[in-house]
Structure 1
C-alpha cells in the first residue's frame, strides 16, 4: 500500500492496517514523537487524501475527511493515502518518562498565581514550550507548562489558583517544600522551532506566559536571530507578573519587543489597554512569513489563531496550546 508523504513528496510502503507512525519510522521518515499513546500530541500530522482509521482500541473510527489532523501513533492505514507531516527538519524526540520530584520552592507571583519549583530525581529532556503532567496525590493530577529549560536542572511552573479547584486548592493550601510530586512527560507540540530565522509572534494570556518564557529563554540560550513580538494579555493591572524576567530577556536580545495588554482598569500611560488581538491588529497588517506561538485560555487562543491566519501566517506555522481549567 502506497503512502505519499508530503512535503517530502516521497512514497513509502505499508501493509494494510499498519500503524502510521510505525510505518513512517520504519521508512526512516523524520517524525517527532514522545509518548506513543496519543497523549502528547507530538506526532500530529494531516491526512490530505484517502481513508485512515483514527483513534486507538475501541475508539478507532474511519476518517475520510480530507485535510484532517490525526495523531500518527493512533492512526492505522486502510488504503493508499497522502499524509502531510510537519517540518521534517524540526523533528524532536523526547521519550516520555515518569520521574519523582520534590518541591524546591513555592512563591507568590500575583494575588492568585504561584511559582512552583520542582527538583527531579532524574532529568526529563523537553523542548521549550512543552508541558508535563504533575501528580501531587491520588486524584490530584493536572498538566502544567514548564517556564524554563532542560538545562536548568529543575522545573518551573506558574499555577493560577482556580476558585474551588481541587488541584490548585491543594497547591495553595497544602503543598509544601520537600513534598513528593510525580512528573510525566514531556507533552505538547507547541515547542520552539529552532531553524526558523524569520519574525516570531508570541501571544500569552495569564499563566500562558510560562511556556512563552520557556520559548524566549530557548531563543536566548541558542542565540537565534529573530525579531520577536510578545503580546502578554492580562485581565487587570494586578495580574501582571514576570516584568523583571521580560526586561532581562529584552536586555539580552534587543530584537524582543514586549507589549503588555490589560483588558480592564489599565493605565494607558503605562501599558496598552484592550485585548491582545486588538493590539496585534493595530501593529501588524501583514504577518506573512511569520511563526506564531499562542498560549492561554481557549477563547484567546482561538481568536489569536484566527487573526494570525487572516494576517497571512500559514496554519502549519501556528503552534498553540490552550489552557483548560478542568475545574482544577
Structure 2
C-alpha cells in the first residue's frame, strides 16, 4: 500500500491500519502536532486522492475522501492514497501540557469584556495566535486565546461576558485574584507563520482581538518586516477596546496599519459598517501574496473567508479559529 505526500512528493510504503501521524513522524515528514488526541487541530492535512478512515467518537470511524481535510493523529490508512501536508516552514510542535496557574489580575476592558491574567507554574510553549482550555472549576471549562507571547511570564486572556452564561457568569461574579486554575494547550491552527515575508491581513471581531494582538506582537518579536493590516470590528464604540495596545504596536512597527470598524455610532477615526465591507472597499483582487488571520465570531470569519478567497488569497493561506458560542 502506497502513501504519496505532497508538496514534498514522497512515496512511502505503509501497512494497512497504520496511524497517519505516526507514519509521518516515523519517516521524518514535517507535520505540526500537539495533543495527538484530535482536540488541537494542528495536525490537519488534506486528502488529495483516495481516502483515509478518521476515528472519533464513532467506533466505526468516518471515511474522509478526496478534497477533504483530516486530522492525522486520528486517521487510519486503509488504502493507497495521497495527502497534502502544510508547507514545511509552517510546522510547529508544542507538546500539549496541563499546567496549574494562579489568577493575578482581573480587569474590565469594556462593559462586557474582562482581561484575565494568569501566572503558570511552568512556561506554556505555544505559537502566537493559538488558544488554550482554561478550567476554573471542574464543571467550568472554556477555550480562550492567548493575547501575549510564550516568552511572557504571565498568560493574558480576554473574555466576553455572555448573558446567563454559566462560565462567564462565574468569571464575572466569583473568580478572584489568587485563585488557582488549570490551563491545557496549546490548541489551534491560526498561528503566526514566521517564514512568510509577504503582507499580512489580520481581521478580528470582539475578543478575537486577543489572538490578533498575539500574532502582531509575535511578528514584531521575530523581527518580521512584513506589511501588516489589522481590521478590528465591533458593534459600537463602547465595544472597542485595546486601542492603546494597537497604537503602541503601530508606533513600534512602521508597516502596521490599523482600521477600527463599528457597525453603528462610529466616532473619531473609526469607520462605520461591517469589517468585511471596509476590507472590500480598501482592497481589489490583488491579495494573492497575502496571508490572512481571521479571529472572532463565526459569521465574521465565514464572511471574511468568502471575501478573501474572491480577492485572490489561497484557501491554504487563510488561517481561522472562529469563536463558537458554547453556553458560556
- Asked whether the 8 Å contact 1:115–1:159 carries over to 2, the reply is yes
How far apart are the structure 2 equivalents of 1:310 and 1:61?
A: 34
SS in 1 for 2:151: helix
The residue number in structure 1 matching 2:258 is 258
- State the alpha-carbon separation in 1 of the partners of residues 264 and 65 from structure 2: 42
1:155-210 CA distance string (max 9 Å, x none)? 00000000000110010000000000000000001100000000010000000000
CA RMSD of aligned residues (A): 1.0
Q: Contact 1:51–1:62 at 8 Å: present in 2 too?
A: no
**In structure 2, what is the equivalent of residue 225 of structure 1?**
225
**Offset of residue 59 of structure 1:** 4.2
Which residues in structure 2 correspond to 1:242-257 (within 5 Å)?
242-257=242-257
Q: 1:170: which partner in 2?
A: 170
**1:78-114 residue CA offsets vs partner (Å, 9 max, x unmatched):** 1110000011122111000001000010011011100
Alignment of 1:101-250 (within 5 A): 101-250=101-250
Structure 1 stretch 86-95 or stretch 126-135: which is displaced more? Answer: 86-95
1:64 deviates by: 4.8
CA deviations over 1:113-163 (Å, ceiling 9, x no partner) = 000000001111000000000000021000000000011111000000000
Post-superposition CA distance 1:257-303 (Å, at most 9, x none): 00000011223x43100001100001110211100000000000000
Q: CA deviation at 1:51?
A: 1.7
Aligned to 1:274: 273
The answer (yes or no) to whether the contact 1:128–1:191 under 8 Å persists in 2 is yes
TM-score of the superposition, structure 2-length normalised?
0.98
> Aligned partners of 1:62 and 1:124: how far apart in 2?
33
Counterparts of 1:39-58 in structure 2, within 5 Å, are 39-56=39-56, 58=58
Using the alignment, how far apart are the partners of 1:12 and 1:85 within structure 2?
14
* Structure 2 partner of 1:322: 322
Q: d(CA) in 2 for partners of 1:256 and 1:59?
A: 49
Work out whether residues 162 and 325 of structure 1, in 8 Å CA contact, stay in contact via their aligned partners in 2.
Answer: no
Rounded Cα–Cα distance in structure 1 between residues aligned with 2:62 and 2:213 = 39
* Runs of 5+ consecutive residues of structure 2 not aligned to the other structure: none
Structure 1 length as normaliser, TM-score?
0.98
Contact 2:51 2:81 in 1 (8 A): yes
Partner Cα distance (1:237, 1:171) in 2: 24
Shift of 1:63: 2.1
